[in-house]
Structure 1
Amino acid sequence: MAPSFLASRVTLLALLSATTFYCLYKSRRLKLASREVAFAFRNPKLIYITQTGTSRTLAYRLHKLLVSKGLIFDLVDVKDYEPEDLSKETLVVIVSSTWEDGKPPPIAKFFVDWIEESVNDFRVGALLLSKCKFAVFGVGSGAYEEKFNAVAKGISKNMKALGANEVVQLWEGDVDGGGLGKTIEAWGEKLIGVLKGGVQENGLVACGALEDESDSEYVDVSDDEESLENGEELEVIDLEDLAGKGPSRKSRNVAEVNGAKTDGKKEMVTPVIRKNLEKQGYKIIGSHSGVKLCRWTKSQLRGRGGCYKHSFYGIESHRCMEATPSLACANKCVFCWRHHTNPVGKSWQWKMDDPLEIVNTAIDLHTKMIKQMKGVPGVVEERLSEGLLPRHCALSLVGEPIMYPEINSLVDELHRRRISTFLVTNAQFPDKIKLLKPITQLYVSVDAATKDSLKAVDRPLFGDFWERFLDSLTALREKCQRTVYRLTLVKGWNADDVDGYFKLLSLGKPDFIEIKGVTYCGSTATSKLTMENVPWHSDVKAFSEAVALKSEGVYEVACEHEHSCCVLLARVDKFKINNQWFTWIDYEKFHDLVASGEPFNSSDYMAPTPAWAVYGAVEGGFDPQQARFRKERNHKSNRQSTT
């Protein structure tokens, strides 16, 4: 055999061996890369939001591309996804359409609203989604101009505000431009590059024109992450700082044309205030009222438990409407859930809406919000039907409901519909308390035990705030219906003065004392509270037991709701009969008594408390007929969340 022939065979064999080795090496590298992605991102999700099917088709195309690269995602229709699970996700890719008027498709409204409301609810930590990486591809029509891809943009913005890390910049696909299939595949290739470690580096995220690989840009996200770590606010306006920042002359003129000023009186809700409250989930009624769907209403619609008022008083949380006829308040409390995104004032100085119109609109808006829960994962059909007919009204949103001059007429309208009333006042209007007609249960906020501490906590507008506070407590004693002192404990501010609080009991002699740990609302220029100011449930229990002991048998700890960090003390002589607590309410009996027009008192409409709600029960005040769902919270604190 010729030497040249042998040499060529050896060369060929070497080439084949090298090629085989390279193919095996590359295959192994791809497998390792996919394993690395699978290891880094546990059960990644590809969620699509669709109305006509376009986004679903694009999501399937993207899913096929990802799988071809060894990246296995769960493909999920948004209607089947629980948004509360976002805090547990490590990687989420969303393909989202925008429907009419910049709104999401109806089937995705709960998902989109949940994310937005979480951003604007200061009880939710700014790092709720800090473990989650995400990317969003929007699908919309450029013909809608400023509403183009509004849903996708909103999801991207709000997920970042909750601490999630956007690994590939949002892409706004235009159905009018054509080529969406190729566009999402090009975007998908960029996503794959990031996930496999080939694009993202030094805190920079690749983004830019998808059609031109050489035209990539880099956006530094490190500053955004640092801002979240520092707990900076997310577009929240403090009304104390609004001087000189109100609407322009042009916007004021438009408002006047639309009826913002009548008879020389201005509307309470200015465009700036309206915008801030609507961002927080409020539906504004007329010029000074509001209604909001409580998270506990949503919870009980889904069989996940009711609020503490369900445990203490037997309300049906899924049939409770949260509303107020006055968004204004005379205090600027440090623990205000809404960080003063509402007006303040010492007297009614605004245009006044009709009470019948307020009630009708509140019920209408509340019912519409309940209807929007249809199709939400876990919603019980029977409870949804019941929720469309509210039985209770909590007059306790932001603001001071008792300021509204026609509060008695409004209460009458609610009772005429056999809707119970739970009204909370901040104890600065004693004359209003004296004139108030019978309601189901009247609360007075008792936020501190001394003049100095009350001034520090409530920051009242009135110069004679302390005298007004004491007069309000005294006025409470003259009411024949159920009365409550509501104490919000803030560690380091008002949680130590048991003796001081006890002295205040003799003024109002309330039927009940609710003692609740403050809800963390975030730190701002007007409130420097941190998680260190939030008491544990054990702290609240210890304080409650100390107050009961101090009362020498007048009050005992009757109920608790561990989930809300809340405890109830009740008068023994009224509500404990044969060693059985009667803190619950016979609502039908109450309405019959109101309709009779005859005098009655709190003992006439009480009902027995179930064993699971009684203090010390193993259920901790959680209704055993409900299914407990534990959320993960991520607050910047050295303490661990127990929720």
Structure 2
Amino acid sequence: MALADWTLTWAWPWELIDIVALWHEYRTPILISTLTALIIIRTILHIRVPREKLSTSPLEGSPILRSVKEKLPLDEKIPTIKAARRIVGGLKKKSIEEVVVVGDQKIQLLVFFSSLTTTTEKTAKVFTDQITNNLAAHSTFLEPQIFDLSYIDYDEYFITAPQNEPNTSYFYLILIPTYNIDTILDNFLEHLQETHNDFRIDTASLSSLLGYSVFGFGDREGWPTEDEGFCSQARQVDKWMAKLTGRKRAFPLGMGDPKTDATQHLAEWKEGVEDVLVHIAQTGSLGEGVVGSGDAVESDIEDEDEDGGEVPFDEQNAATRKAKVKKSAGLNDLEDIGGGLDAKPAEELVNSDKPLEVDFTTYTKKPKATAPATVIKEMVPKESPTWKSLTKQGYSIVGSHSGVKICRWTKSALRGRGSCYKYSFYGIASHQCMETTPSLSCSNKCVFCWRHGTNPVGTTWRWKVDPPEMIFDGVKAGHYKKIKMMRGVPGVRAERFAEAMRIRHCALSLVGEPIFYPHINEFTAMLHKEHISSFLVCNAQHPDQLAALQPVTQLYVSIDASNRESLRKIDRPLHRDFWERFQRCLDILREKRFQHRTVFRLTLVKGFNIEDEAEGYADLVEKGLPCFVEVKGVTYCGTSSSAGAGLTMQNVPFYEEVCAFVLALNEALARRGLNYGIAAEHAHSCCILLASNRFRVGPNGKGGYEGEDGKWHTRIHYENFFKCLESGQPFTPEDYMGSETPQWATWGNGGFDPRDERVYRKGKKRKALTDTQGEIMGTEEAESGCG
């Protein structure tokens, strides 16, 4: 019974076993049939559902397109498509910005030039006048403007195109000579290169210009061919401008020799430029097929590779220009038949037995010879126009980069006609003062510079370095020689002439940047060894050198502006980080205020840094905490004929304006809780001294007195300074604080030495200085020329 029940219960699984056996026998055809059915269903659904069209037509010119066109109605337009993108290696180049002159848009022509001996300057002015007259009939053109590269801010014109006037497009013309000495052109070329390579700036940042063209002046006697350096700087400017403008070279580079063919070639170049300008005014384009114009380019024009097959700027200087200078008695200025250069001909280099070195890491179109080793040259060679210009101005050039010059106040003191402010403030007799500099080069192009840009400029020392011993002996000999030349001058006092033959003080200012000299500490040590005090003036652009400076008698920092924009306009620094350098120098000066007597030198230029800047100057004083603040009206030294260069008498403040500024500055310092006061003045120099209360001595004989009955002790005890220096022990400015400031030199008393007799120029009223304080005109005060 139990067995029967079990059989009935499990009878149905056998049917399931039959189905499984059937599946195993026929599974292959079943799967194939199912898959086929699914494919058929998918195909039917895909055909019936409309697809999204990724493109509306085949490629232009294809056989499919022609067949479709034949079947379409005539009035139906076939949309076009873009060809598939091709992905290639490397960075994608930005398209050139196109400028179209339409409607009321105007064209502003800017002419830039550089000149040391004014030859190119005169040529550029004549050229600008001619092109102005020739384009006067076209209303599209504004009156051309001319600029000297020595007196402009490169950032305004050569980083981006000017944006001063709406509906105005700009066109650049650049006329430059080539020199074999360091000039502003070296910094200009460096600026163009840095702008192009600066990752923060578009590589073609001047592409909004309508175009540009360059003309260069060179000397075929010194540089016969382009390979040997003929117009090398013009060619470099042309190359970098091509990169910065997106290759908008409107007319080919023109070149000429002033002795032979420059006039003819310049006239031909001018005609070509005028034709291009007229074409731009009519069409808004550089012309069909012109590189950079946006139009089609002829197929046989090869595109230059990324580097143009050229060496970097610094290597190029060594390879094509700087290494080719030869000794010659001729002038090295290529504006005026420059000096000769010597270089091996290209054929000699190619035919040399030595194999050419090939750089397999960089692709170029042709192998090039290894660049010659860099030749370190002199800052101011004797054959250079810089040397001639400075010597003509009364300098004695010592070695290759130093100079000495007798000061106007030295001559005045020898004749008993008054000393400069240094005697009133610090007790330095002007006839025993030597004014010199171990570096004629500077990193600024100040608007009030005495030299009008004729001295060398640079941001780094790249010249031959003369030993300090040679400079020390040379400047002393040059100074004494100039003193001896005063023997026959009427009015020279015998006793002062005898005193002048012993130098007691050295003002390291003159021109250039003394702290730039690599061995400045050794030079000042030689001065101190002979008990010659030292006043060193720097422009707050070399913080590393300032930090490494050993103690000097008095350390000056020129503070020519209270904010970044004013400093840029007045000092026109070459360093791009000029404001950061300036601020760092103030921090260093603050640290040194207990090691040196530190001084802020404020040069007031009317129209630049006087109006409403007293508060800004007070902030800088609070930051640097100098021992003294000298405020002086700018010295008028003649107006340069260069466009936009130099100052006029309108920029020289009246003495009453300087007094008003000092009073405002003194009040601003008092509001900040800074202990300063007006200590002394020298109205004849248009100069006023504010001093820290550290140098106000009270009845107890100690400095730091804040009472009104305190006495100013701004003068220096020079013997104590040398004793402190020779002791080798740390000392402070108070340790060599001198005697009381004379009553006649204090504020409100004029500051003229009563031992001397003031001589007025013809037509001036003979009044006591104290009676005319506040009324002295800047024209009279501008006679001062002491650094």
Q: TM-score, normalised by structure 2?
A: 0.49
| Aligned partner letter, 1:334 | V
Closer/same/farther in 2, CA of residues 415 and 573 from structure 1, 3 Å limit: closer
Tell me how far apart the structure 2 counterparts of residues 289 and 542 of structure 1 sit (CA, whole Å). 38
Q: Counterparts of 1:551-570 in structure 2 under 5 Å?
A: 551-552=669-670, 554-570=675-691
- Where does residue 584 of structure 1 map in the other structure? 715
Contact preservation (8 Å) 2:182, 2:457: no
- The superposition leaves residues 61-95 of structure 1 with CA deviations (integer Å, 9 ceiling, x where unpaired) of xxxxxxxxxxxxxxxxxxxxxxxxxxxxxxxxxxx
1:346 — aligned with what? Answer: 459
Secondary structure of the residue that 1:567 maps to in structure 2? Answer: strand
The one-letter amino acid of 1:557's match is: I
Of 534, 544, 547, which aligns to 2:662?
A: 544
Cross-structure match for 2:744: 612
Give the counterpart of 2:222 among 241, 246, 249. Answer: 249
Task: Give the number of the structure whose alpha-carbon radius of gyration is greater.
Answer: 2
Equivalent residue for 2:349?
Answer: none
CA distance in structure 2 between the partners assigned to 1:437 and 1:358 by the alignment: 18
Q: Is the 8 A contact 2:452 2:646 kept in 1?
A: no
Q: Deviations over 1:562-621 (max 9, x none)?
A: 11101000001333434111000111111111111111111111112111111112xx10
Pairing of 1:374-393 with structure 2 (within 5 A)? 374-393=487-506
Which residue of structure 1 aligns with residue 256 of structure 2?
none
- 1:507-527 deviation line (CA, Å, top 9, x unaligned): 210000000001123333242
| CA offsets 1:318-376 (integer angstroms, 9 cap, x no match) | 00000000000000000101111111000110000000110111111111111111121
With 328-337 and 585-594 compared, the bigger mean Cα shift is at 585-594
The partner residue of 1:624 within 751, 754, 763 is 754
Local SS of the residue matching 2:629 = strand
* Alpha-carbon separation, structure 1, partners of 2:638 and 2:622: 35
Structure with the larger RCO, 1 or 2 (CA within 8 Å, 6+ apart)? 1
Partners of 1:245 and 1:308 in 2: CA distance: 46
Change (3 A) 1:498 1:256: same
Matches within 5 A, 1:195-234: none
- Structure 2 gaps, min length 5: 1-180, 189-215, 224-323, 332-338, 342-372, 700-709, 765-776, 782-787
One-letter code of the match for 1:587?
A: Y
Label 1:522 to 1:238 Cα distance change in 2 as closer, same or farther (>3 A): farther
Where does structure 1 lack aligned partners over 5 or more consecutive residues? Answer: 1-236
- The residue aligned with 1:426 is 539
Is the Cα–Cα contact under 8 Å of residues 418 and 591 in structure 1 kept in the other structure? yes
Q: Report whether the alignment pairs 1:364 with 2:472.
A: no
Matched, 1:501 2:617: yes
- Aligned-pair CA distance for 1:252: 4.6
Match of 1:603 in 2: 734
- Cα distance in 2 for residues equivalent to 1:554 and 1:238: 46
Alpha-carbon distance change, 330 to 520 in structure 1, aligned in 2, over 3 angstroms: same
User: Contact 1:359/1:410 (CA < 8 Å) preserved in 2?
Assistant: yes
After superposing on structure 2, the runs of 4+ consecutive aligned residues of structure 1 that deviate more than 3 Å are 237-248, 255-258, 260-263, 573-578, 639-643
Structure 2 CA distance for aligned equivalents of residues 361 and 556 of structure 1: 41
| Residues 557, 569 of structure 1: 8 Å contact kept | yes
* Identity fraction in percent: 52
Tell me what 1:152 maps to: none
Report the equivalent of 2:431.
Answer: 318
Between the aligned partners of 1:425 and 1:434, the Cα distance in structure 2 is 12
Identify if the C-alpha distance between structure 1 residues 641 and 272 changes in structure 2 by more than 3 Å, giving closer, same or farther.
closer
In 2, Cα distance between equivalents of 1:469 and 1:359: 29
- 2:607 is equivalent to residue 492 of structure 1: yes
CA contact (8 A) 1:324 1:396 kept: yes
Q: Partner of 1:277 in structure 2?
A: 390
- Matched to 2:620, the amino acid is L
Corresponding residue pairs, total: 401
Residue type of the alignment partner of 2:725: V
- Once the two structures are superposed, residues 85-126 of structure 1 have per-residue CA deviations (whole angstroms, 9 ceiling, x without a partner) of xxxxxxxxxxxxxxxxxxxxxxxxxxxxxxxxxxxxxxxxxx
Task: Give distance in 1, aligned partners of 2:651 and 2:621.
Answer: 25
Shift, 1:641, TM fit: 3.6
1:395 positional shift: 0.3
| Aligned twin of 1:482 | 597
Q: In the alignment, which of 531, 535, 544 is matched to residue 653 of structure 2?
A: 535
Amino acid paired to 1:361:
G
Q: Does 1:304 align with 2:435?
A: no
Report the 3-state secondary structure (helix = DSSP H, G, I; strand = E; otherwise coil) of the residue aligned with 1:253: coil
Whole-Å Cα distance in 2 between the matches of residues 355 and 263 of structure 1?
A: 24
Distance 1:614 1:427 in 2: 29
Give the counterpart letter for 1:385 in structure 2.
A
TM-score (norm 1): 0.59
Output the amino acid matched with 1:609.
Answer: T
Contact 1:238 1:339 in 2 (8 A): no
* Conservation of the 8 A alpha-carbon contact between 2:404 and 2:479: yes
Give the letter for the 2:543 counterpart.
P
Deviation at 1:555, TM superposition (A): 1.0
Q: 1:548 touches 1:554 (CA, 8 Å); kept in 2?
A: no
Once the two structures are TM-superposed, the CA of residue 263 in structure 1 deviates from its matched residue by 8.1
* C-alpha distance in 2 between matches for 1:467 and 1:633: 48
Q: CA deviation at 1:273?
A: 0.5
Residues 1:281 and 1:257: Cα distance change in structure 2 (over 3 Å): closer
Matched ranges for 1:458-469 at <5 A = 458-469=571-582
Secondary structure of 1:333's partner? coil
More strand, by proportion: 1
1:401 to 508, 514, 517: 514
SS of 2:327's partner is helix
Structure-2 change in CA distance of 1:359 and 1:238 (3 Å): closer
Q: Give runs of aligned pairs for residues 43-82 of structure 1, distance below 5 A.
A: none
CA RMSD, Structure 1 to Structure 2 (Å): 2.7
1:137-216 map, 5 Å: none
